[in-house]
Structure 1
């Protein structure tokens, strides 16, 4: 409850000073209301003292700083898994084509140290045979579409290989035998052997097959769909 006191003095300043002294407060700790400024009268006649009401000022409640609620930082979003996304895309496309099949994933052998090998998706099922096409042309187109969709979802470009019922595995065995025969021919004749144009995945198989061959080296030449592997005999 506020304490209001009335103090007197010969003038307003003296009345205020009397109030401050009585309350033991400073000027900025009180509110002063002048009730009567007083009058000196005339020759001492009719004089009256000044009157003031001095009220201590209630100090404001200290503001309590409201600390913002501390929330646990959200964990960073997980990086999408390439294998999971790729299998999902292949499954969706097969479903839209009305083809019932299973999709299995594996990684190819790296061509060199530090290389990220391609992810191979094996599509298995009787109905999946229609995906191969003449000399694998339909399969190549399907693979291209899968790469585009996966790249868009993952935000990058990724080396994906689609196989159907082991078609490319059989082709791989055939290419490895071809690479060995052509390497022998290059060594025997001392001349460079040029293979037929191949897609990147098949050229890669030839390079891997002859990577450690003591008598030949390999090199890809040409552009686009006419790019092929050359097998070159080592000199000396």
Structure 2
């Protein structure tokens, strides 16, 4: 697993160098894999508007890592996420807070709440955060980029 982390770090360093961006990479072990955090002063360039650049940056790193790890004979690739200056971590915490606050509204008023449209990653965070609530149901509705979550009382 350490070898996989080294390969992923090298990929990230190469991409940052090609983008002429400086940054340190920190690896944080988590229950379901690892989180690779770029610490940089150029965070805006890497994160972009609403995290769009970060999403693309992460996607590219994961695809390159998938190919390189497969070529090096890795049978079980490391599950990992990519973050910049803890942007994703903060965003995840905000989404969980939003979900739980709205779950409390649903419980109190006994009426459904429709959350704003979210990407699949964000919707998964909300569904997971509210899965432990036995009296609440969540459902994704809509198409494409307009998909939203409805939180309903049971």
- TM-score normalized with structure 1 length: 0.54
Q: Root-mean-square deviation (CA), in Å?
A: 2.7
Q: What are the ranges of 5 or more consecutive residues in structure 2 without an aligned counterpart?
A: 71-75
- 1:176 aligned residue: 96
Q: CA deviation at 1:158?
A: 6.8
Q: CA deviation at 1:84?
A: 2.6
- Partners of 1:153 and 1:204 in 2: CA distance: 28
Written as runs of structure 1 = structure 2, the 5 A alignment for 1:55-134 is 81-108=3-30, 117=32, 119-134=34-49
Distance 1:100 1:225, change over 3 A: same
- Partners of 2:30 and 2:140 in 1: CA distance: 20
- Partners of 2:78 and 2:111 in 1: CA distance: 36
SS at match of 1:230: strand
- Partners of 1:145 and 1:201 in 2: CA distance: 16
- Partners of 1:90 and 1:212 in 2: CA distance: 36
Distance 1:194 1:82, change over 3 A: farther
Does the CA-based 8 Å contact 1:216-1:232 persist in structure 2? yes
Does the CA-based 8 Å contact 1:101-1:128 persist in structure 2? no
Q: Which has the larger radius of gyration?
A: 1
Check if 1:225 corresponds to 2:140.
no
Which digits, 9 at most, give the CA deviation of each residue in 1:21-73, with x for residues without a partner?
xxxxxxxxxxxxxxxxxxxxxxxxxxxxxxxxxxxxxxxxxxxxxxxxxxxxx
Q: CA deviation at 1:135?
A: 1.0
Larger RCO (CA within 8 A; separation ≥ 6): 2
**Higher helix proportion (structure 1 or 2):** 2
- 4+ residue segments displaced more than 4 Å: 156-159, 221-224
Q: How many residues align?
A: 149
Q: CA deviation at 1:198?
A: 2.3
Check if 1:211 corresponds to 2:131.
yes
Distance 1:96 1:142, change over 3 A: same
Q: CA deviation at 1:80?
A: 8.4
1:164 to 59, 77, 84: 84
Does the CA-based 8 Å contact 1:129-1:164 persist in structure 2? no
